Structures are given as C-alpha cells and as structure tokens.
Amino acid sequence: MLSPSQETKAAENSSINRHEKKEENNTASKVTEKSEAKVQAEPEKNQGRYNLRRRKDDGDAKPAEAKPEEKEAIMAAAPVATLSTPLDFGGKIGAFFWLLFLPAWVLFLILQVSLEDPSLANFPPPLPPLVAFWDTQAFGFVILWILFQALLYILPFGKLSEGMPLKTGERLKYRTNGFFAIVVSAVAVAAAVHQGVDLTYIHSHFLQLATASFLISILLSIYLYVRSRNAPPEQLALGGNSGNVIYDFFKGHELNPRIKGFDLKFFCEMRPGLIGWCLINFAMALAEMKQQGLDAPSPAMIIVNLFQLIYVVDGLWNEEAILTTMDFMHDGFGFMLAFGDLVWVPFTYTMQTYYLVNHPNPLSVPALTVIIILKLVGFYIFRKSNSEKNAFRRNPSDPKLSHLKTIHTATGRNLLVSGWWGVVRHPNYLGDLIMALAWSLPCGFSHLLPWYYMIYFIILLVHRDSRDMSECRRKYGSAWDEYCRTVCYRIIPCVY
C-alpha cells in the first residue's frame, strides 16, 4: 500500500507500502527458498511437514545454479493467477474506494496542516478554489526532479545487483546506485541554494507540487495498465491479475515493467519520492528560519530532519535489500505503488517538518536525550533484523548464518525462528514503530496532526501482519502453526 519505505515506506505504500523505502515494511514471511530446492507443485495437504533445526546442518551446502530443464519446471509449476485468487484491500469494491480515498486523504492532510490552528476542531479545512491547485512552474519542477533522478539512475555508477528468481528462473539485474544519487542530489541542492535559489518555494507551493505529482502518478498508472495488457502471462503479478480493470489498475498488473532495461518499479520506489522526502524536509527547515526569523533551524526541526535523513540514507546504502521484499517479489506495479512512491511518501511523511514551520516546539536537554536514545534503539533493531532477513533470503547456506534456527516447510522454504526473528515475528516493524515515535515526539502534544505518521504506521503494520498471517498459513500449513507457537508475539514483545 502506501509504504514508508525503504524497506517502509511503501508500499501501503501497500502503503501504499514504501516507505514499504522500504525494505523493512515488506518482510511478510521472512522466508527463503533453499537454493538447491526445486519448485514443487504439492497439494496443500502435503505441506504439513516441518522440523526445528539449526542452519549449521546445511552449512556446507553450496548455492546451485538452475539448469535449463529446472527453469522449465519452475515456469511450468509457477502459479497462474485466476479469478479465484484472494483479493487484498477489500477486493474490487475496496480498490475503487482506495482510488478515491487516498488522494482525498493527502489533500486533507495538506490543507489541515497549513491552517493557523490545525486542530481537528477546525475540521474540515476550507477547500481552495480550483485554480489554486495548479501551477505550471510547480509541474515543471516535479518533471525536472524526476528526470534528474532518472539520469542519476542510468549512470554507470554502483553495482549491478540481481533480484530474486522469477517464475521463469530468471534473475533481473538492477543498478543499485541510490547512495550515489542522494549524494549528487545533495550537492546539486547545496549549489542551487548557494546560487540564490529560494527553496522555501516548496513550502509555499506544497499543494501545487502535490497536485503535479498526483497527475504524474495517474498518467504513469494508466501507462502501466495499458502496457500490461500485452505482457506475457509469466510477467504478470499474481495479486494484480484478477480480470477486474479497477482492481488490476490499483494493485498493478505487471510485476516488473521495464523500458529497455529501465526498471520503472525499482526507480519509483527508491528515487524521486524517497530522495524528494529529504529535499522537502530541508526546504521546511529553511522556511522555518525565514518565517520565525531564526539564524538556524530549531532543535526540533534539526533532529526530525536528521532522523529521517538517516532513515533514507540507510535505505539507499542498503538498496539491494529491497529486492527481497514483498513489493518486488509479489506486488505488481500499478496505482497503489506509483501513487505511494510519488505522492504519499514525499507529501505525507513530511507532515512533522511542515507542522514545525509554523508551530515551533522548544525541547529541553533531557527531552532531546530521550528522543535520540529512542531513535538509536529503533534504528538498531530495524537495521539488524533487516540485515538478518536479507542475508538469509539471499543465501540460506551461508556459514555465517549457521547459528540461526529455522522451521523447515514442505515447500522447500525455511522460517527463521532465532536472532531478532525469534523475539517477534516482525522485529523490523518494531524498530520502525520506535523510530516513528522518535520522529513525532519533537512536535509535542499540542496537536494530533504531527502524530499522523505514527498512527498511520500502526494501522499499516497491523494490516500487513494480518495479511501475512493469512497468506503464510495458506502456504505453509501446520509448519506455520508451529512457527506461531515458537514465536508467540507479532510485533511488540509481551504486548502484541
């Protein structure tokens, strides 16, 4: 859906699931295929076998390349989407609802936070005239930003990473140079400010920039759906191949749409919106200085900018990890992710900094200390658990992972039940929630609006957990029940 990232934000960004940024929030089952296992088309009734063992039992195994005849078997055994495939997000009616609700919700947030008093007592915010939504310069600015990020994406810097095996056994290659892109972007922004460019334009034209991004996401979604009608069956996403136009348009019909090697989903997930999130935050800091007559941003503004910058930089530094997430392995690229990447992430995840422009919140040294400790603890859990998951998915036979315990399933996949994944079923969600708390606390408790991200994230992650539970119980049968008995808590130890 509409996703924080990284690894969160995302989408969600099913999240509109990116900021599933997004590696972290898409770790539904923490499973990996044993590299030597062949895909088996077994009945559900035969998927009840499991055993609890340490990974050292497989420590000497070496990853095996799929033989041509095995690739054919994989393709033949791959599930084909049918009209009976379970539909997410309320099915066909739900997809229609989300198509209308999500843009309306973003509009509400922008209009509400721009009020002098953004309390819910002033709901609904007054609707501006239609002419106020459009600004040609803002539209041009968004287009140039996307083209600039596309140029950085195609430059031959950074490594070529392989994605997870597709139905055909093929592994797509991705240019993972996101860290390079954000460094160059930062240099370009600094040079622009030095030359006198007034970035507070982003604050004063926030609504128009969001409208431009929304129009671009709509046009992109239409293009994606039209081109997917001619895509081969093996290139279609299982969940977005329902046969219903509205649902498939929303969820995404094609899994990995590319234009001559330019991967549209990977680019949109990790570049314009995610790096744009940091650009907007920086512009809000400049706007606060301008409107409050400050020589430097307030401590609250500084730590929110810094915390979220660290989050994004971490996602781009570990960009390869997003290739093992639900977004890339299962979800098609349609309106849900396109809107989440280009609109939801940059224009709703910046609510805290937008709020602080006109509502400064002084912070004492003890309060700053507590908030920083919270951020560090959350980030450690988030990064450590995601690193364990990503390494395990990519090479479960790695001797470095031999200490990890797993439950083996009849599908040839293993479920992690040790390390951080033995504490709760979604330790990366736990880290994300702690960081979300650290992002919201600097805004104080005068208004509910800057806590929107925290509230939204709780709802998003609980929904993701429920979605994961249903899917994994269907796939792994009694092995999943044993897993749930072994790892009792879902997100928060001893609580949930």
- Phi/psi-derived region of residue 361, left when phi > 0, alpha when psi is between -120 and 50, beta in every other case: beta
How confident is residue 127, by pLDDT bands cut at 50, 70 and 90? very high
What is residue 123's predicted lDDT score, i.e. its pLDDT?
87
Higher-pLDDT residue of 462, 42: 462
Q: Residue 10 carries which side chain, given as an amino acid letter?
A: A
Mean of per-residue pLDDT scores for the chain: 82
What is residue 110's predicted lDDT score, i.e. its pLDDT?
96
- Measured at the CA of 278, the angle between CA 272 and CA 280, to 5 degrees, comes to 90
CA distance 490 to 464: 11
What is residue 164's predicted lDDT score, i.e. its pLDDT?
83
Residues 165-186: what's their mean pLDDT?
91
| 3-class state of residue 168 by DSSP | coil
pLDDT for 268 beyond 80: yes
What is residue 85's predicted lDDT score, i.e. its pLDDT?
57
How confident is residue 63, by pLDDT bands cut at 50, 70 and 90? very low
DSSP state of 32: E
What is residue 67's predicted lDDT score, i.e. its pLDDT?
46
CA distance 224 to 327: 16
DSSP 422-434: GT-S-HHHHHHHH
Q: Which two tokens stand for residue 282?
A: 């920086």
Contacts of residue 341, defined as CB under 8 A and 6 or more positions apart, other chains included, come to 10, 11, 13, 18, 217, 268, 269, 272, 273, 274
How confident is residue 240, by pLDDT bands cut at 50, 70 and 90? low
CA distance 418 to 435: 23
Q: Which two tokens stand for residue 260?
A: 């001559």
In terms of C-beta distances under 8 Å and separation of at least 24 residues, what long-range contacts does 294-297 make, across chains too? none
What is residue 376's predicted lDDT score, i.e. its pLDDT?
95
pLDDT for 169 beyond 90: no
CA distance 395 to 162: 13
Locate the domains of the chain by residue range.
86-361, 363-495
Count Cα neighbours of 243 within 13 Å in the Cβ-side half-sphere: 7
The DSSP H or E segment spanning 375 is helix 365-394
Q: For the purposes of burial, counting CB atoms within 10 Å of the CB of 494, is it exposed (0-12), middle (13-18) or buried (19 or more)?
A: exposed
Tens digit of each residue's pLDDT (9 = 90 or more) over 197-239 = 999 999 999 999 999 999 999 999 999 999 998 888 888 887 6
Q: Which two tokens stand for residue 361?
A: 């919140």
Q: Which two tokens stand for residue 280?
A: 């907007």
| Lateral strand order in the sheet of 52-54 | 31-33, 413-416, 405-408, 52-54
What is residue 340's predicted lDDT score, i.e. its pLDDT?
94
CA distance 86 to 210: 33
Tens digit of each residue's pLDDT (9 = 90 or more) over 401-427 = 777 888 888 777 788 888 888 888 889
| 3-class state of residue 35 by DSSP | coil
pLDDT for 19 beyond 60: no
Residue found by looking up tokens 């400010």 in the block: 193
Residue found by looking up tokens 């509009």 in the block: 107
* CA distance readout (Å), 495 to 373, 466, 491: 21, 16, 8
Closest by CA to 83, choosing from 243, 200, 223, 217, is 243
The helix-helix angle for 427-440 and 365-394 (nearest 10°) equals 150
CA distance 49 to 353: 51
What is residue 433's predicted lDDT score, i.e. its pLDDT?
93
DSSP state of 327: H
